[in-house]
Amino acid sequence: MSGAGYLSSGYADPTAADVTRRLLQAMPAATFELEGFTRLAQISITRRIPTAAVEAKYRPQLLINPDFIQTYCQRDEHLFLLVMHELLHVLLAHTSMYTMLTKAHNIAFDAIINARLSRHFHEPIYRGFFERLNAADQFPHLLLRPPEGWPDNPTYPTDVGPLGTERILRQLYPSSKITRQRLPFYSEILDLIKQDQRERGQNADGEPMLLGDHESDGYGEGDETFAEAVERMTEEWPMQTGKNAQAGQGTNGTREWQVDPQKSSYQARRVFANVLRRSVGPERGIQRRRERAPITDIIGNGVLPNARDRMMPARQQLGVHGVLWSQLNTYKARITHESVRAHVYLDVSGSMRGILPYLVHLLIPYVKQQRAAVFQFSTKVEPMSLPQLRQGNIQSTGGTSIQCVMHHLLNDAPRVKRAVLVTDGHIGRIAAAHQQQVAVKGIKIHAVLPAESPYDRYIRDFAATITILPPVADD
């Protein structure tokens, strides 16, 4: 069976070995370490879930319904998309984002994941999978699949769903002619679904088909090894929006792309200002101020000999012998004091792309006023100047690692005692050695997470404070 192969016409439940073989044949070269996943997780064929699910409460398992893959995953590439859909649920920590999950939440999660997969795997060989699952002329079904004619000549329905449906659909599945388009926020999709429920009632067009097991929390928060393994597999996920580097650049290289800074909400700006004040101590503003500080200087004459008296060599040359010596002492006086700048590390990895335009806008005033020094990080740390912020110039490797931030904080910026970390939390676990050094040096890290993706699982290990911003989009 080739990577583009089909199941045979004769029906028989596939074995775990069959599924593994098909996944490896469909895996894009050097894109995902899916082979590592198949070694880590046990594949089970079962009808107790409707489609597929990743279960990691005790031992990592990939559960697959044989009837579903017989009907909808005859191509190996479609089976691959199904598995990647489940892995992205784990990577994005959807079960920990909201206290109570509803059908609307699950639709929003699937809409974002399906769009991400479709944007990256848009070749004809992958098409047809999401389209077969849901109709393009029903709401909210059309949010879970590309529109007809996508990506080159998409037709966006104008008479389906509540007001705003077409805009969200254009954000999820932009035309191939559009070079930059952020994905919508989960909250935007939720609001759209709730609006439809208010206008037409629950299940007006019937239930859409969702992938995965949305009835139970299949992913266990306690299995940290599995979470880290999935994160390593997808850390090289390339940018799906923005201007990437030239084709052919290695996945470990830095990609340059752009975001269009968008005005952030007043509530987000207010909360962030409070965090920034906490990170630099008392607010000193942007002006230089005169503060009382100890100064050592000559304050008069005395009878005690003082070798630091600068007139002593001259007296000796002139043969003058005096009994008074210049005296040094310490006193307090008002001196000019420079404003203190906060040290801000901004996560520019692929998972942050939707909210980066707002966060960049949020930081511009503080850099302009010299109240903050901004460093962008993915798996590398790079300084981010005021012109770069204004133009939205991002340098990213696509992955994320907190280790590069810790190395920079401990070695390249050793005098910093407090720092601000702006991230969605998908940064991996901090190394034990780094965590110990941060504690020994007394460095306090104040974490800021957007409301759109407040994943604090790894942040809790080292952050002095964790602040969840209000929604950053300006209403």
**Cα 448 → chain centroid:** 11
Q: How many C-beta atoms lie closer than 10 Å to residue 369's C-beta?
A: 13
Where does a domain end: 319, 337, 355? 337
d(C-alpha 261, C-alpha 242), whole Å: 12
**Tokens 């000999």, located at residue:** 305
Q: What is the pLDDT of residues 371-388, one digit of tens each?
A: 888 999 988 899 988 888
One domain for residues 458 and 429: yes
pLDDT at residue 167 in the model: 92
Based on the structure, what is the number of domains in the chain? 3
Residue 303 is part of which domain span?
289-337
One domain for residues 315 and 386: no
Please state the rounded mean pLDDT for residues 130-138: 93
Which of 99, 58, 65 minimizes the C-alpha distance to 79? 65
- pTM, rounded to two decimals: 0.60
**CATH of residue 356:** 3.40.50.410
One domain for residues 349 and 297: no
Which of 118, 123, 151, 146 minimizes the C-alpha distance to 134? 146
SS3 per-residue string spanning 280-321: HCCCCCCCCEEEEEEEEEEEEEECCCCCCCCCHHHHHHHCCC
d(C-alpha 164, C-alpha 155), whole Å: 15
- What's the chain's average pLDDT? 76
Give the pair of three-digit tokens for residue 420. Answer: 């601000």
- Residue 183 reports pLDDT greater than 70: yes
Number of H-type helices and E-type strands within the chain = 15, 13
Would you say residue 161 lies in a domain? yes
Q: Degrees (nearest 5) of the Cα angle 287, 289, 295?
A: 145
d(C-alpha 334, C-alpha 137), whole Å: 73
d(C-alpha 227, C-alpha 233), whole Å: 10
d(C-alpha 241, C-alpha 35), whole Å: 27
Would you say residue 35 lies in a domain? yes
pLDDT at residue 420 in the model: 92
One domain for residues 331 and 346: no
Share of the chain above pLDDT 70, in %: 68
Q: What is the pLDDT of residues 29-74, one digit of tens each?
A: 444 445 556 555 678 888 888 888 877 655 677 888 889 988 998 8
